[in-house]
Amino acid sequence: MSHDEELSAERLVKEDEWNVKFRKVDTSLNGNFKQHFPNCAEHGFVTSEPGGFFLMDEYSRHAEKLFRFKPRSDDVWVVTFPRCGTTWMQELVWMIMNDCDKIKAKAPLAVRSPFLELPYMLPLHATAPEIRNMMVTLEMIEEMPSPRIIKSHLPFYLLHPKLLDTCKVVYVARNPKDVIVSFFYHHRLFDFHYFDGDVEQFAQYFMDGEVMFSPFFPHILDAWSKRHHPNMLFLFYEDLKKDLRGEIEKIAKFLGKSLTEEQLTDLREHLRFDNFAKNESVNMEPAKQFGRFNPDGHFIRKGKTGDWKNHFSPEMNKRIDEWIETNLNGCADLKFVTQLEVQD
Ligand code: A3P
C-alpha cells in the first residue's frame, strides 16, 4: 500500500468513527427553563460534545444509529434547521421527482418523505399512538423504493459522513429573525414542546442555543461551507418567496429533471402559500384529531418574510442584530434577507 493509500484508508476509518458524546443539560431540568418548557423539560435535554447540539434526551440513545444510516446514491435529502421552509421544499422536491403526480401526492407527505430522526427524539408518551403508528422508522425507510426524499434537521456532522458524496442534498436556510418567530409558534402548536413565555424570552433561548436543534449558526454555516459541492444545492426561503417559479426551475435542473411549461405553472400554484396551507397532505391539520396539538395553531402558519417586525421591540431587534453580526463574523459572503418588497 502506498503512503497516500494508507492515509486515505486511515481517513476512511476516522470518518466512520462515532466520536460524539452527549451530556444532560442541568438547566433544562429545573428553574426558569422548566417553567418555560413545562412538558419537554420533564425528561430534559442533552447537548453534544463536540458541537453543542441541543435536543431531547431520547435522541442521544439513537444518535449513532442515525449517523450510520446509509444514504443511497439516488436519494434526495432535504436538510434544514427547523422552520426554514422544509415542508415546502419536501413537497417541491417530491413533486419534481415524481413527475408532478397529484394523485400520488394525496398521500401524507410524512409518509412520502420521511423525517429521519422523528421517531427517535420523542419519548413514547409525547405522541398520540395514532401518530406514532404513522411514523416512518429507519427500517421502513430502508424498505422504501427509490428515489427516496428524506427530511432531516440534523446538522451534517450528525448525519452519515458520506451523505454529500453519495446523493443530492437540498439545504434551505432562512433569516434567523423569521425563524425565531416561526419556531416560537411551533412551540405553541405542539403540546409536548409547549413554551410558556413570550416571543422575546423565546428569542433569548434561541440565541443561547437552548431550543431543540440549535445552535442555529453552526448548522447553517457548516452547510454554507459545503455549498460548492456538486451534490449540494444551498437555497434561501426568501428566494422562494421572491421567485418561486425560478427556484422550481433551478431545483429541477439540479435534480436532473425537466418540467413542461404546464407542469411548472401547475406546480407553482400547488406550492403557493394559500393552496399549500389548505392541502391536508402537507398541512398536518388532520393530526389535530388525535389531540396533543393546539387547535388554534397552524403548522403552515403565515408564510411571510418580515413577520419578525410584528414581534420584536427595537431593543430586542438590536440584540438579535448584534447576535447575528457576531456569528457571521468572518463570513461576509453569507447575507440574510429580512424583508422583501415583493413577495407572494
Ligand atoms: P411561518 O411560521 O413564518 O409561517 P418548516 O416546514 O421548515 O417547519 O417551515 C415552516 C415555515 O415555512 C412556516 O413559516 C410556514 O408557514 C412556511 N411555509 C410552509 N409552506 C409555505 C409556502 N407554501 N409558502 C410560504 N411559506 C411556507
Q: Is 42's pLDDT higher than 90?
A: no
CB 88 less than 6 A from any atom of ligand 1? yes
State residue 201's pLDDT score.
Answer: 97
Higher-scoring residue by pLDDT: 133, 35: 35
88 C-alpha to ligand 1 centroid (Å) = 7
* 153 assigned to active site: yes
Using one digit for the tens of pLDDT, what is the confidence trace for 197-246? Answer: 999 999 999 999 999 999 999 999 999 999 999 999 999 999 999 999 99
Shortest-distance Cα residue to atom 17 of ligand 1: 303
Instruction: List 23's β-bridge partners, or say none.
Output: 47
Shortest-distance Cα residue to atom 15 of ligand 1: 300
Q: Is 3's pLDDT higher than 90?
A: no
State residue 14's pLDDT score.
Answer: 59
- Domain boundaries of the chain, sorted by first residue: 71-327
95 C-alpha to ligand 1 centroid (Å) = 17
* Segment 34-47 mean pLDDT: 90
User: Catalytic: which of 153, 160, 186, 311?
Assistant: 153
Q: Is 19's pLDDT higher than 60?
A: yes
Q: Is 38's pLDDT higher than 60?
A: yes
Q: Is 1's pLDDT higher than 80?
A: no
Give strand ranges (E) for 25-81: 45-49, 54-56, 76-80
Higher-scoring residue by pLDDT: 91, 27: 91
The whole-chain average pLDDT of the chain stands at 93
User: What does the buried/exposed string (b/e) look like for 23-61 if buried means 16 or more CB atoms within 10 Å of the residue's CB?
Assistant: eebeebeeeebbebbebbbebbbbbbeeeebbbbbbbbe
CB 178 less than 6 A from any atom of ligand 1? yes
State residue 13's pLDDT score.
Answer: 47
Shortest-distance Cα residue to atom 8 of ligand 1: 83
State residue 24's pLDDT score.
Answer: 94
277 C-alpha to ligand 1 centroid (Å) = 9
As given in the structure block, the three cell numbers for residue 117 are 430522526
Using one digit for the tens of pLDDT, what is the confidence trace for 140-182? Answer: 999 999 999 999 999 999 999 999 999 999 999 999 999 999 9
Could you tell me which of 266, 272, 337 has the C-alpha nearest to residue 84? Answer: 337
Shortest-distance Cα residue to atom 20 of ligand 1: 88
SS3 317: helix
| Best of 78, 79, 178, 182 for a ligand 1 pocket test (most atoms within 8 Å of beta carbon) | 182
Atom of ligand 1 nearest to the CA of 87: 6
Higher-scoring residue by pLDDT: 296, 156: 156
By percentage, how much of the chain surpasses pLDDT 90? Answer: 81
CB 185 less than 6 A from any atom of ligand 1? yes
Using one digit for the tens of pLDDT, what is the confidence trace for 78-126? Answer: 999 999 999 999 999 999 999 999 999 999 999 999 999 999 998 888 7
State residue 204's pLDDT score.
Answer: 97
1 C-alpha to ligand 1 centroid (Å) = 52
Using one digit for the tens of pLDDT, what is the confidence trace for 242-260? Answer: 999 999 999 999 999 999 9
Could you tell me which of 57, 55, 239 has the C-alpha nearest to residue 152? Answer: 55
State residue 344's pLDDT score.
Answer: 76
Atom of ligand 1 nearest to the CA of 90: 6
Does the domain at 71-327 match CATH 3.40.50.300? Answer given as: yes
CB 80 less than 6 A from any atom of ligand 1? yes
125 C-alpha to ligand 1 centroid (Å) = 27
CB 273 less than 6 A from any atom of ligand 1? yes
The amino acid at 246: G
Nearest-Å Rg of the Cα atoms of the chain is 20
Shortest-distance Cα residue to atom 25 of ligand 1: 303
* Segment 286-292 mean pLDDT: 82
2 C-alpha to ligand 1 centroid (Å) = 52
